[in-house]
Amino acid sequence: MASTAAESGGGLVARVRARLPVTNRRDNIAGWLFISPVLLWILVFTAYPLISSLYLSFREWDPLFTDEYVGLPNYAELMEDRIFLTAYRNALVYAAITIPLGLVWGMSVALAVQHIRGRAFFRALYFLPTVTSSVAIAIVWSFAYQQDYGLVNSLLRYVNVQGPNWLGHTQWALLSISLVVVWAGTGFWMIVFLAGLLDIPPEYYDAAKVDGATGWQSLWRITLPLMSPTIFYYITNALITVWVQFEIPFVMTGGGPANATLMPALHLYREAWDRLKMGYASAMAWVMALIIFIITALHFGLSRRWVNYDR
């Protein structure tokens, strides 16, 4: 016994160290010093603003003249603010278009590109909009949607379809913007989905083939159930980002025509910086946070029914 202890000297030291209190003074100081810059940033730019915006949301406040406690009326006013409600209705429509379409399209492309020659090339190409600024995308697409000489209607003309005034018509503007967002996000999600697909052991498919399953059956019984954590991640992300979309409508339509593309974040920005109603805008921000929180909680709760984590 004595000889084994001597032999495994390193192991013994490690074991003794493991038994000791996990921390010591020098490490405590060093650790807190190392994280102190990040803590400073979080205090100044996250924690304090979080509390401050809750405080502001109960006040009538602008940076120059007014600072007055009003209590809940900011929130009450929101519920009667038709433009606020319009912004959320638009966001719902936008969510109903972008979330399913982005999922189906991104997944289709990922499935199709999976075993294709030139996969790396296509992956790189599809990813290009992800590295491009939203502003650049919005500028190019606002020309692409131009009624007469725009790219979209010019292509439609090749097949003898007369396209509408995409961004100028209340009926089409929100759809147009949603399609741009799906277009811009495809590459990113394709790569996320592709990573999930490549994680599925090929033996599963071989076994299914031996049992006589068709490709369609394999897709529904193997691929999609095993992809459910990735799909869950997609939906989680989408349920947050739909409410904070700003750049594309800001540049392409400014929320118009007739508020048809007004989004919650754009409305918040206008109230805070164009009309300087920062208390009211803070109440809007908290309603947005609450909605995101509730939806995310519901989504997590429901996920137990369909997300499959055992592989």
Partner 1 sequence: MASTQYKLPTLAEARRQVFATIKYALVVAGGIGTALPFIWMVLSSFKTNADIGRIPMHWFPAEWVPQNYAKVFEIMPFARFYLNSIIVGVLTTLGALLICSLAAYAFARIRFFGRDIMFMLILTTIMIPWWVTLIPAYLVIRQLGWLNTYQGLAVPGMLNIMGIFLLRQFFRTIPPDIEDAAFVDGANRLQIYARIVLPMAKPALLTVGLMTLMGSWNSLVWPLVISQHESMQTLPLGLAVLANLAGWVRHETGALLAATFLSILPIVIIYMFLQQYFIRGLALSGLK
CB of 194 to partner 1, least distance (A): 9
Burial of 189 (0-12, 13-18, 19+ CB in 10 A): buried
User: Looking at 103, 163, 165, 188, which residue binds partner 1 (CB under 8 A)?
Assistant: 188
Residues 266-295 that bind partner 1 (CB under 8 A): 268-269, 272-273, 278, 281-282, 285-286, 288-289, 292
Q: Does 94 bind partner 1 (CB under 8 A)?
A: no
CA distance 225 to 231: 9
User: Looking at 132, 170, 171, 308, which residue binds partner 1 (CB under 8 A)?
Assistant: 132
CB of 131 to partner 1, least distance (A): 5
Q: Does 218 bind partner 1 (CB under 8 A)?
A: no
User: Which listed range, 94-102, 140-148, 162-170, 200-208, lies at the site for partner 1 (CB under 8 A)?
Assistant: 140-148
Q: Does 35 bind partner 1 (CB under 8 A)?
A: yes
Residue 69 phi/psi, 5-degree rounding, is: -75, 130
Q: Does 144 bind partner 1 (CB under 8 A)?
A: yes
Identify which of residues 171 and 214 has a Cβ nearer to partner 1 in the complex.
Answer: 214
- Name the β-bridge partners of 61: 67
User: Looking at 66, 67, 69, 108, which residue binds partner 1 (CB under 8 A)?
Assistant: 108
Identify which of residues 3 and 161 has a Cβ nearer to partner 1 in the complex.
Answer: 161
CB of 1 to partner 1, least distance (A): 27
With vertex at residue 223, the alpha carbon angle to CA 220 and CA 224, rounded to the nearest 5 degrees, is 60
Q: Does 214 bind partner 1 (CB under 8 A)?
A: yes
The upper half-sphere exposure of residue 199, i.e. CA atoms within 13 Å in the direction of its Cβ, equals: 16
Q: Does 172 bind partner 1 (CB under 8 A)?
A: no
With vertex at residue 133, the alpha carbon angle to CA 43 and CA 268, rounded to the nearest 5 degrees, is 55
Residues in contact with 234: Cβ distance below 8 Å, sequence separation at least 6, in sequence order: 102, 103, 106, 189, 192, 193
Size of the site for partner 1 (CB under 8 A): 99
- Name the β-bridge partners of 69: 59
Q: Does 165 bind partner 1 (CB under 8 A)?
A: no
CA distance 145 to 141: 6
User: Which listed range, 66-74, 76-84, 169-177, 190-198, lies at the site for partner 1 (CB under 8 A)?
Assistant: 190-198
Q: Does 309 bind partner 1 (CB under 8 A)?
A: no
Q: Does 208 bind partner 1 (CB under 8 A)?
A: no
CB of 130 to partner 1, least distance (A): 6
CB of 2 to partner 1, least distance (A): 26
User: Looking at 5, 8, 11, 41, which residue binds partner 1 (CB under 8 A)?
Assistant: 41
Q: Does 45 bind partner 1 (CB under 8 A)?
A: yes
Residue 108 phi/psi, 5-degree rounding, is: -60, -45
Q: Does 307 bind partner 1 (CB under 8 A)?
A: no
User: Which listed range, 69-77, 94-102, 166-174, 237-245, lies at the site for partner 1 (CB under 8 A)?
Assistant: 237-245
CA distance 13 to 6: 11
Strand, helix or coil at 220?
helix
User: Which listed range, 65-73, 80-88, 191-199, 297-305, lies at the site for partner 1 (CB under 8 A)?
Assistant: 191-199
What are the distances in angstroms from CA 232 to CA 45, 94, 183, 236, 299?
A: 30, 19, 20, 6, 9
Residue 172 phi/psi, 5-degree rounding, is: -110, -20
In 3D space, the residue among 32, 27, 84, 96 whose CA is nearest the CA of residue 283 turns out to be 84
